Amino acid sequence: MTANNGRSYTSARGVARLAAQLSGRDQAIIRQVAELRLMSARQIQTSHFLGSDHDNESAATHARQRVLARLTRERLLIRLDRQIGGVRAGSAGFVFALGPIGQRVLAIDGPRRRSYEPTLRFVDHTLAVSQLVVDVQTAARAGRLEILNSQAEPACWRDFSNIGGRRLLRPDAFMVLGAQEYELRWFIEVDRSSESLPVIVRKCRLYADYYQSGKEQASGGVFPRVCWITPDEARADRLREAIERDRKLPGRLFVVTTSEQAVTALSTATEVAINT
């Protein structure tokens, strides 16, 4: 990963001084990258460098390049060596993670995050989740929906107990969206066609077990639906068929859509929620 290795240590006073100099936008970028774990430069620009806030899109791009270069130089962010989209993507294809100083500025507890290059599979999946969050935020800015709650991993994870013992459910995200007069609650699963259908079905059974436990309903009153988001319609069809074939699964619990149609599916109240 690319970082500024010229300074191996920054004092607590230096971190405090740096934090005080950060703009609101700097802080928002660092917080979102920390929450989502990885974001591309293009995603960061879409979220934090709106064309309407600059003379034109080119000016927004130049502003993004300057800000991300500074945040990387100060080790608030770290840029991965791997670039998405190939050489033609340019700086928009750079991928960023939280840097060691960023972790200290945000006062994130726990061990320091290691600066290692993640696998291509991890990068692809994590950026797909980040893109969904960015797309939902864009829709919210356009007035298509309202974001009432949004949790990324691991904040969205749920633990519960049943006859099988203690279980851990790990969605990719949890969202509560307002659309029309409805409040739509969702567990999100972003599928990148890297898992077999039996693995997908086992994850669905875990959701069904969590539903049967009643733990989520005890706090929220309704159980969120589970939205599987696939790269294309062919994969979506295969997931739907696999879920429908398993008679142990409550079919109304699951929605399968594509990344292109995800925001529409998440903001459409066909069956709002599953009651207790």
CA distances, 172 to each of 88, 131, 155, 156, 258 (Å) = 30, 12, 10, 7, 15
CA 241, CA 262: separation in Å to the nearest integer? 19
Q: What is the pLDDT of residue 109?
A: 61
Nearest to 32 by CA among 81, 76, 89, 91: 76
CA 158, CA 69: separation in Å to the nearest integer? 37
pTM: 0.89
Nearest to 93 by CA among 102, 80, 76: 80
Q: Which residues of 34-45 are buried (b: 16+ CB within 10 A; e: fewer)?
A: bbbbbbbbbbbb
Q: What is the pLDDT of residue 53?
A: 76
Q: What is the pLDDT of residue 72?
A: 96
The dihedral of CA 16, 26, 114, 159: what is its sign?
positive
CA 78, CA 140: separation in Å to the nearest integer? 28
Domain ranges (residues) in the chain: 12-118, 126-275
Q: What is the pLDDT of residue 88?
A: 55
Q: What is the pLDDT of residue 231?
A: 97
Q: What is the pLDDT of residue 167?
A: 94
One of 3.90.550, 2.40.50, 3.40.1350, 1.25.10 is the CATH number of 126-275, namely: 3.40.1350
Full pLDDT tens readout for the chain, 276 residues: 555 444 567 888 889 899 999 999 999 999 999 999 999 999 999 999 987 777 678 888 999 999 999 999 999 999 998 777 655 556 778 999 999 999 999 987 655 555 668 899 999 999 999 999 999 999 999 999 999 999 999 999 999 998 878 999 999 999 999 998 889 999 999 999 999 999 999 999 999 999 999 999 998 788 999 999 999 999 999 999 999 999 889 879 999 999 999 999 999 865 544 544
Nearest to 33 by CA among 108, 88, 89: 108
CA 12, CA 249: separation in Å to the nearest integer? 52
Give 239-274 pLDDT, tens digit per residue. Answer: 999 999 998 898 799 999 999 999 999 998 655 445
Identify the H or E element spanning 222. strand 222-223
Q: What is the pLDDT of residue 50?
A: 84
Q: What is the pLDDT of residue 27?
A: 96
Q: Could you give the residue ranges of the DSSP H alpha helices within the chain?
A: 12-21, 24-36, 41-48, 57-73, 100-105, 120-141, 197-213, 215-220, 233-245, 262-266
**Is the domain covering 12-118 a CATH 2.60.40 domain?**
no
Q: What is the pLDDT of residue 6?
A: 46
Q: What is the pLDDT of residue 268?
A: 87
Do 83 and 42 meet the contact criterion of CB atoms below 8 Å apart? no
